[in-house]
Amino acid sequence: MNSKATQSEIKTVPRVVIVGAGFGGLNAAQTLASAPVNITVIDRRNHHTFQPLLYQVATAGLSPGEIATPIRSILSGHKNIEVLMAEVTGFDLARKMVKASDHEIAYDFLIIAAGASHAYFGHEEWEALAPGLKNIEDALEIRRRVLLAFELAERRAAAGETAVPLNFAVVGAGPTGVELAGTLAEICRHALAHDFRAIDPRRARIHLIEGGEHVLPSYPQDLSRSALQQLQRLGVEVLTSTMVTRIEPGVIYMGEARMEAAVILWAAGVAASPLGKELGVPVDRAGRVLVQPDLSLPGHPEVFVIGDLAALKDASGKLLPGVAQVAIQQGRFVAHLIRREMGKEAGVAQSRPAFHYHDKGNLATIGRAAAVADFGRIHISGYIAWLTWLFVHIFFLIGFQNRMLVFIQWAWSYFTYERGARLITGSTKLPGWHDAKFDHPEGEPAEREISAAARK
């Protein structure tokens, strides 16, 4: 289709609607782009987020613009792809319609790639106290809290108040929790070390709390052990087999134990997009849609669910993990199925192959020069794993400009220990920091001492 196509020509090509422009949706769109179809990509954000580097935005190493790219600029070269920024609210599978913010959109094929968000296991009230990390806004909120905690601590110490323990707690030791904890430790010991006068950031404590027995539980045990050692070397205090039972402003409870924490971050649970439940088919406990082996919906061969929203088991009966590689391969697989069936009558089930995941290996970064890599029989730890992680991630970043900018930022940080994006924007409040007292001090404020002695 091009802009000179007539109305009748347009009606003859199938319409593919893709919900969500994460790794799955984007790869489906790009694989379909050269086919004679009209594609509509709908996302409630205007940008694709390179989620594997979100923790770098949360820890002030990269700017949001460096890991997020406008969806329509990624796809602008394809005249048969239309991008809509809209919130999808539901589906009418019988009429083949997607319900979005302000209108309905008809499809012949539908690919749902709406992803996942964090889960608080029925304690949704914890979200405001312990934000998770799934999008740019989350990352900026975490960055704000982390940087603000140091600022508030410095202000208190300068005012002669008794020192507040600068505790950071990260709940959940999967890849995201490990990245956050490791990078926080690195920042406290290096990037911030010399910037304060009344407090010493090197005395900040980073706690990583995991309910299971091991950090990085989905990795082979030798790599879990290595990750634990690398975390400890960075100064992270790891608590395994420890369940968080309650969170209050600035306080975290683990059974009988109680810990004050300036900032609490949540990396413990994932729930699939609520759109999965709108489909009227069975979902698993995490809200993932139980798809057919070809990723289609039972009874709806024209509807596919891919990525973090799909629950599919591999040959050994293990659920496919919620990682970018799975989503990318599923997006391409589904796009190829559609290309194959386009000529035939849409919506009629064809004999289809099952989706098979080709695991190319897993990488988890821990901090500066610290990572683990699992390539099946080959396990790597430390510097080499970190270099691998670095180049793989820069390579897969979308846009040459972003690759260049991120590479420079990284090289710069590596040699100078600086963090380029240490901005606090938005509110200047932190939960649990006794705002009332500090904003309206009662009585005479303590006389201030600019004194090196205040540094403990």
Hey, which residues between 114 and 173 contact its own copies (CB under 8 A)? 136-137, 140, 147-148, 151, 154-156, 158-160
Residues 6 or more apart whose Cβ sits within 8 Å of residue 384: 373
Residues 6 or more apart whose Cβ sits within 8 Å of residue 191: 60, 413, 417, 418, 419, 422
198 lies in the site for its own copies, by CB under 8 A:
yes
- Which is nearer to its own copies, 319 or 408 (by Cβ)? 408
Among residues 139, 256, 154, 260, the alpha carbon closest in space to that of 207 is found at 260
Q: How far is CA 61 from CA 54, 234, 235, 409, in A?
A: 10, 17, 19, 8
* Residue 295 backbone class (left: φ over 0; alpha: ψ -120 to 50; beta: rest): left
Point out the catalytic residue in the list 141, 179, 186, 341: 179
| Distance of closest approach, residue 428 Cβ to its own copies, in angstroms | 7
| Distance of closest approach, residue 311 Cβ to its own copies, in angstroms | 30
| Distance of closest approach, residue 194 Cβ to its own copies, in angstroms | 5
Site for its own copies in 20-79 (CB under 8 A): 38, 40, 44-47, 63-66, 68, 70, 72-73, 76, 79
**9 catalytically annotated:** no
Alpha carbons 251 and 128: distance in angstroms, whole number: 13
Among residues 44, 137, 41, 25, the alpha carbon closest in space to that of 87 is found at 44
- Which is nearer to its own copies, 105 or 373 (by Cβ)? 105
Across 240-326, where does the E strand assignment appear?
246-248, 251-254, 257-260, 263-266, 270-272, 289-290, 296-297, 300-305, 310-311
**How many other β-carbons are positioned within 10 Å of the β-carbon of residue 9?**
12
Choice from 5, 164, 290, 394 touching its own copies (CB under 8 A): 5
Residue keyed to tokens 């669910």: 305
Contact 39, 31 (CB under 8 A): no
Residues 6 or more apart whose Cβ sits within 8 Å of residue 361: 373, 374, 375, 376
Stretch that binds its own copies, among 20-28, 97-105, 179-187, 316-324 (CB under 8 A): 97-105
Site for its own copies in 173-192 (CB under 8 A): none
- Which is nearer to its own copies, 147 or 262 (by Cβ)? 147
| Distance of closest approach, residue 371 Cβ to its own copies, in angstroms | 24
* Residue 170 backbone class (left: φ over 0; alpha: ψ -120 to 50; beta: rest): beta
Stretch that binds its own copies, among 109-117, 227-235, 237-245, 448-456 (CB under 8 A): 448-456
- Which is nearer to its own copies, 63 or 388 (by Cβ)? 63
| Distance of closest approach, residue 206 Cβ to its own copies, in angstroms | 20
| Distance of closest approach, residue 30 Cβ to its own copies, in angstroms | 16
x/- site string to its own copies, residues 399 to 418, per CB under 8 A? --xx-xx--xx--x---x-x
Among residues 289, 310, 335, the alpha carbon closest in space to that of 32 is found at 335
x/- site string to its own copies, residues 353 to 392, per CB under 8 A? ----------------------------------------
Alpha carbons 223 and 109: distance in angstroms, whole number: 42
- DSSP per position, 212-260: SSSSSTTS-HHHHHHHHHHHHHHTEEEE-S----EEETTEEEETTEEEE
456 lies in the site for its own copies, by CB under 8 A:
no
Stretch that binds its own copies, among 5-13, 202-210, 226-234, 356-364 (CB under 8 A): 5-13
95 lies in the site for its own copies, by CB under 8 A:
no
Site for its own copies in 319-348 (CB under 8 A): none
| Distance of closest approach, residue 149 Cβ to its own copies, in angstroms | 11
Choice from 8, 12, 95, 102 touching its own copies (CB under 8 A): 102
- Residues designated as active site: 179
